[in-house]
Amino acid sequence: MPESSQLGSIRPGHGAIRADIQALRALAILSVVVFHFWPNAATGGFVGVDIFFVISGYLITGQLWRQVQADGKVKFAQFWARRARRLLPVSLLVIVLTALASLAFMPSTRSMLIFDEASASATYWQNWLMIFKSTDYLQQNISSLSPFQHFWSLSVEEQYYIFWPLLVGLVLLVSLGLRTSIKARSWIAAGLLGLIVVASLWASVQLTEADQAVAYFSTFTRAWEFAGGALVAIVFDQRLVKVSEPKSRSFIWFFTGVALMLTSIFWFTSDTPFPSFWAAVPTVGAMLAIFGGESEHRLMPRWWLKWAPVQTLGDISYSLYLWHWPLLVLVPIWYGQKFNAGFWPLVLLVAVVLAFLSKRFIEDPVRFGWLSRRNNYIQLLIALVAVVAVVYSSSMMGTRTTYVLKHSYAAKEFTPLLADVPKDIPAIDKQKCGVTTKQDAFLTCNFGDPKGIISVAMIGDSHIREYFTPLEAIGKANRWKITVISKSACPPLSPGVGASTKENETCVNWQKSLKSYLAGHKKFDLIISASSTWVTSGIRSAAPRFKDLVMSQLARGSRWLHVLDNTKPQENFLACIEAHQRQVAKFCSVPRKVGLTPADHLPAAIQGLSGVTIADFTDIYCTQICSPVIRNIIVYRDHSHLTNTFAATLRPAFEAVLPKEFLK
């Protein structure tokens, strides 16, 4: 993200610091930090990342292109050595200290999930690891607060720093082969940038609709933002089109850009389909602000742009970005239950102090000190050795954590292993049969006996999929044809206007497709449904709409079995199991009433209807208390779902409540 904070201090073609770009950095880092600490204060603060991408595209391209125009070549080793000196010292320090703090303060059941992210952060492919993790809905609540996840944007930038010089070199090679003029060479580069903008923006729009998590983290959907900044550097700074001198440009360009950025910071929310075309608002805003930022018009706020606190914030933006997120994640864990939101200003102050010290004693000495005078290849070799050392140490920490878990009392007595709990999912989830939360799609999957005499549909969100193992076993024994229809975080309801923001557009579309599918498909003999109360509790119209869907199928002659949603564990149940092990029932249980919160209101809506059966397994999960371990089996894999190991034990319970005509 803000890693180019010092490089960008230099205006292309000049030696002076551009106060306006430093101010843009200050705005970007401030928006990100406020969004992370106080999300309601800047609901769209995440666009600070996009602003940084534009700044990097502008500055790096300006630097490379000036070199090409002056020397007729790209000095790859020199460029990458500079980037390594600039980026690696503080980032590797933060990674190592964050990994050690995670090892010291985090429960092993949580820290074991993040050491791969430490290695991915050190090697700058964290965004692709996040894509892998984000597309797995079942992992979201366990891994969402990794102290390394902010490295995703740094990874995107580093990938840009690696590949963009190669593309510039290709442009140079083509232009030399064609024996073009310097201006024609710039037009070739501008044309390539234009193609990148069009292709990447199109991919951003399409992929956001198909899978927003992938679109958000992907290098390809973000490339156009770098290209946008690069276009400003080549088209306008190289005078490919006739424009006024920077100091003579209208102040309106700068103010329009700032207005667009502020609009996105305070108007966008987490529900905004992003990046998609919405990313154009902060991106174009940053481009316009850079284009008009040097204007000397009397209405330009030069005093504010040059204000020392603004310049200092822009100057430490890279280090502040690196430090603030690990502190935000780890300090509450270290402090314990007494931590409250009133401490956030103090945590932020610590992050600012660390950022300032890092800039003063690590960034600048390495960037401008003795290492900068060594051979470029030696610098790159040193950087490679440092990265390998960090990756190795992170890997060793992860191995040690997993070893401790696998040799504990819980590992000997409980199943599945604590280290394997998050991965204990049903086979159907490994086959990607369910539609994810953000996907706008409708999918059906067929299992069981294709020549079976009984047709069964499993319909619901991810909670119906957690029962797949016992139901598939029953189906195989009784010649069922099983059709699974599932979308995560989307309950099976008749489409209608709900009273909850949880019903996003993709869920509404899925519900419409479900109703059409059921109406046009041959009736199922039996429909089994389940859904998470974390979702349905926020939809006031859920019960009547569920009843409407059920009655539409009862009228066709189907039988309906609804599974009352499973109980919920305490928030940090895995850490509690790890800590208390032999006394897990005493210290890690929740009262029955708490385990049943939020309540499942759907069964009451269809209770008593002819052809309806309600499966209530609460007595299996709970006595007066609900323990996360029953008969030495760990019940839950996260805050809401059952482990596949425990779900498999529910086969006899299902057979006891299923209508007899569906069993041999």
Which pTM does this prediction carry?
Answer: 0.83
The pLDDT score that the predictor gives to residue 10 is 36
What is the C-alpha to C-alpha distance for residues 467 and 654, in angstroms, rounded to an integer? 10
**What is the Cα–Cα distance from 6 to 318, expressed in whole angstroms?**
9
- Eight-state DSSP code of residue 523: P
For the residues 614-631, what does the mean pLDDT come to?
96
Whether the Cβ atoms of residue 234 and residue 61 lie closer than 8 Å to each other: yes
Q: What is the pLDDT of residues 203-258, one digit of tens each?
A: 999 999 888 889 999 999 999 999 999 999 999 887 888 888 889 999 999 999 99
DSSP states of 602-613: HHHHHTT-TTEE
Give the three-class secondary structure for 82: helix
State the CB neighbour count (10 A cutoff) for residue 660: 7
What stretch of H or E contains 526?
strand 526-530
Q: What angle do CA 24, 27, 31 make, to 5 degrees?
A: 145
Model pLDDT, residue 137: 31
Which pLDDT band holds residue 1 (cuts at 50, 70, 90)?
low
599 confidence band (pLDDT: 50, 70, 90): very high
What is the amino acid identity at position 220? F
Alpha helix (H) ranges present in 211-316?
212-217, 219-231, 251-267, 280-292, 302-305, 308-315
Residue range 647-652: mean pLDDT, rounded: 97
Average pLDDT over residues 531-546: 90
Residue 357 CB burial class (10 angstroms; 0-12, 13-18, ≥19): middle
pLDDT band at 503 (very low <50, low <70, confident <90, very high): low
CA angle at 101 for the pair 342 and 355, rounded to the nearest 5°: 65
Instruction: Give the pLDDT of residue 18.
Output: 92
CB atoms within 10 A of CB 477: 12
Using alpha carbons only, how large is the chain's radius of gyration in Å?
28
The CA distance from 192 to 179, in Å, is 18
- Other beta carbons within 10 angstroms of residue 386's beta carbon come to 15
- pLDDT surpassing 80 at residue 512: yes
List of residues 6+ apart from 10 with CB closer than 8 A: 16, 17, 18, 59
Contacts of 360 (CB under 8 A, 6+ apart): none
CB neighbourhood size of 100 (10 A): 13
Specify burial of residue 554 (Cβ count, 10 A radius: 0-12, 13-18, 19+).
middle
Q: How far apart, in whole angstroms, are the C-alpha atoms of residue 3 and residue 86? A: 8
Rounded to whole angstroms, the Cα distance separating 82 from 109 reads 39
Is the pLDDT reported for residue 377 higher than 80? Answer: yes
Residue 659 binned pLDDT confidence (cut-offs 50, 70, 90): very high
Whether the per-residue pLDDT at 277 is higher than 70: the answer is: yes
Give the pLDDT mean for 342-362: 95
**Single-letter amino acid code for the residue at 179:** R
d(CA 462, CA 230): 43
Residue 644: pLDDT over 70 = yes
Flag whether pLDDT at 516 surpasses 90.
yes
Burial letters for 285-323: b for 16+ Cβ neighbours within 10 Å, e otherwise?
A: bbbbbbbbbbbebeebeeeebeeeebbbbbbbbbbbbbb
pLDDT, one tens digit per residue, over 158-208 is 999 999 999 888 888 887 777 777 788 888 889 999 999 999 999 999 999
